Structure 1
Amino acid sequence: MKYYPALILFVFLASCGNENKETSKQYFDIKGYFSKEVKKLQKQNPVISKTVLQNGQSEARSIMLDNWEAELELFSASDINKPAWKNSYQVINTGNIKEYISKDKQLKTRKISIESYRGTIKHITILNASQNMLYSSEEQLDYYPDSLYSIKKRQTVRIMGTNSYSIFARFKN
């Protein structure tokens, strides 16, 4: 009988923990998805054909990357599963595409679009934007698992002007 209050407390704490886990992953887990991709790519160690274009100058080469976590950091950083953003995104399902669209223009990640087929992700597009009086930035991130990824970024700093770059990387088979 003296263990009864401890049992009630344990059940209460366990149920609170499960509820927090469910609400913290309200939207697609971008961070978790790209963490798995990083582990997979570190293990596979694929050769990629990578082209970098910055302000009209381009460079292309075939390489093997040592740090996939750094390479895909912009994708992982677009995680929208913050408790404060619980109701900040509208979720739209259209056929094989699920979109998360920001209701608040102050949030950096404005849109995530995930195309899947039979439970397998085929394409992820992420649109990020931020601005203030001195700075504006726009990013479009595209990821096709085991195929290619691209990053297009445009930054405008009031005093320094506009800087744009893009990265296009194709996995070689």
Structure 2
Amino acid sequence: MYWFKKCFIIACALFALLLVQSCKSDARAGNDTEKFFDLKKYFANESLRLAKSDPLITKTAIHNKNRETKKLRIADWATELSLFSESDINKPAWKASYKVINADGILSFTAKDPGLKTQDIVIKRQGDKIKWILIVNHTKSTVLGKVLYETTEKLSYIPDSIYQIQKRQFVRTLGFNFYSIKGSFN
């Protein structure tokens, strides 16, 4: 359990650092309407729905080769799904930053700029219903050509079935780490 707390604290600190770096203002930002799928709204609604239904979850946390599994009820779904909602790309400055493909019930957004945190969002729909969502985030920071840290996140969400967060991370002072959180609905 100690390794999990230690890794969680390190991951939170790095996430905060990444969040601060990714918050860049843009003079082009205005009050334009949304162009892309609203992840923030979708996961806010999912958080409310899941809080009401209060499902039992089998949650597995992995850090490198260490694994821990528990059955529990999630007290705060908004926090639990926050990495998903924080991957929202509906910023007016990014209207031309993503290639959009909508075909055969699959809606995909691919970043044109490798410097954007959210690189890919793929959503499978069946009518108005979301079947699954896949998000790929990537962040890299270099100083004088040397990588200080690099993080790749793969976020998967299948409503009422599974949500998973996989993170591969390199931090110059800590080396490589792999983190995975998987929640399975019972």
TM-based fold match above 0.5:
yes
Choose the corresponding residue for 1:95, options 101, 104, 119.
104
**CA–CA distance in structure 2, aligned partners of residues 47 and 24 of structure 1:** 37
**CA–CA distance in structure 2, aligned partners of residues 94 and 58 of structure 1:** 39
1:91-110 residue CA offsets vs partner (Å, 9 max, x unmatched): 01231111000001110000
Question: Could you tell me which residue of structure 1 aligns to residue 65 of structure 2?
Answer: 56
Give the unaligned 5+ runs of structure 2: 1-29, 143-147
1:27-62 residue CA offsets vs partner (Å, 9 max, x unmatched): 000000000000001111110011111111000111
**CA–CA distance in structure 1, aligned partners of residues 103 and 119 of structure 2:** 18
* Equivalent residue runs for 1:58-137 within 5 Å: 58-133=67-142, 134-137=148-151
The letter of the residue matching 1:67 is D
**CA–CA distance in structure 2, aligned partners of residues 73 and 163 of structure 1:** 21
Question: Could you tell me which residue of structure 1 aligns to residue 53 of structure 2?
Answer: 44
* Equivalent residue runs for 1:26-41 within 5 Å: 26-41=35-50
**CA–CA distance in structure 2, aligned partners of residues 50 and 159 of structure 1:** 29
Question: Could you tell me which residue of structure 2 aligns to residue 157 of structure 1?
Answer: 171
Q: Which has the larger radius of gyration?
A: 1
Equivalences, count: 152
TM-score by length of 1: 0.85
Deviation at 1:78, TM superposition (A): 0.2
**CA–CA distance in structure 1, aligned partners of residues 39 and 33 of structure 2:** 12
| RMSD, matched Cα | 1.2
* 2:183 aligned with 1:169: yes
* Equivalent residue runs for 1:4-43 within 5 Å: 20=31, 23-43=32-52
**CA–CA distance in structure 1, aligned partners of residues 41 and 98 of structure 2:** 18
**CA–CA distance in structure 2, aligned partners of residues 33 and 119 of structure 1:** 12
The percent identity for this pair of structures is: 45
Q: Which runs of 4+ in 1 moved over 2 A?
A: none
Give the unaligned 5+ runs of structure 1: 1-18
TM-score by length of 2: 0.79
